[in-house]
């Protein structure tokens, strides 16, 4: 009976523990965005698409895109002047 009481209290304490959530940098690392921040400000023509992860998309202004969030998908946003303005996951 004493073992059951100890086990129950351990389970109750474990249930009270708050789950850990990834920081934004951890989420960015899932698609490799953090390691590609050096691309920001460079011309899109310098982008070697063969080095991008399998799930990626290069988006230009007014390009239709789905709004679903995929943490493993790399998004490369290009501005009107053909320069990369943002690299992120999603």
Mean pLDDT of 67-80: 97
Average pLDDT, rounded, for the chain: 82
The answer to whether residues 59 and 78 touch, using CB atoms and an 8 Å cutoff, is yes
Q: What pTM, to 2 d.p., does this model score?
A: 0.68
Which helix (H) or strand (E) covers residue 88, if one does?
Answer: strand 84-89
Q: What is the pLDDT of residues 8-58, one digit of tens each?
A: 554 454 555 555 555 555 544 899 999 999 999 999 999 999 999 999 999
Mean pLDDT of 66-87: 97
Residues 6+ apart with CB under 8 A from 79: 61, 85
Work out whether strand 56-59 and strand 84-89 pair parallel, antiparallel, or are unpaired: unpaired
Instruction: Report the half-sphere exposure of 11 (CA within 13 A, side-chain side).
Output: 6
Complete domains list, the chain, with CATH: 23-89 (3.30.10.10)
Q: Of 37, 40, 13, which Cα lies nearest the Cα of 24? A: 37
Residue 75 structure tokens: 């998004």
């Amino acid at each position: 009976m004493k073992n059951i009481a100890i086990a129950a209290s351990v389970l109750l304490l474990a249930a009270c523990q708050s789950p850990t959530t990834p920081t934004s940098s951890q989420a960015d690392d899932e698609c490799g965005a953090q390691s590609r921040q050096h691309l920001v400000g460079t011309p899109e023509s310098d982008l070697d698409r063969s080095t991008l992860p399998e799930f990626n998309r290069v988006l230009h202004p007014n390009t239709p895109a789905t709004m679903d969030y995929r943490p493993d998908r790399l998004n490369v946003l290009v501005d009107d002047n053909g320069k990369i303005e943002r690299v992120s996951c999603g």
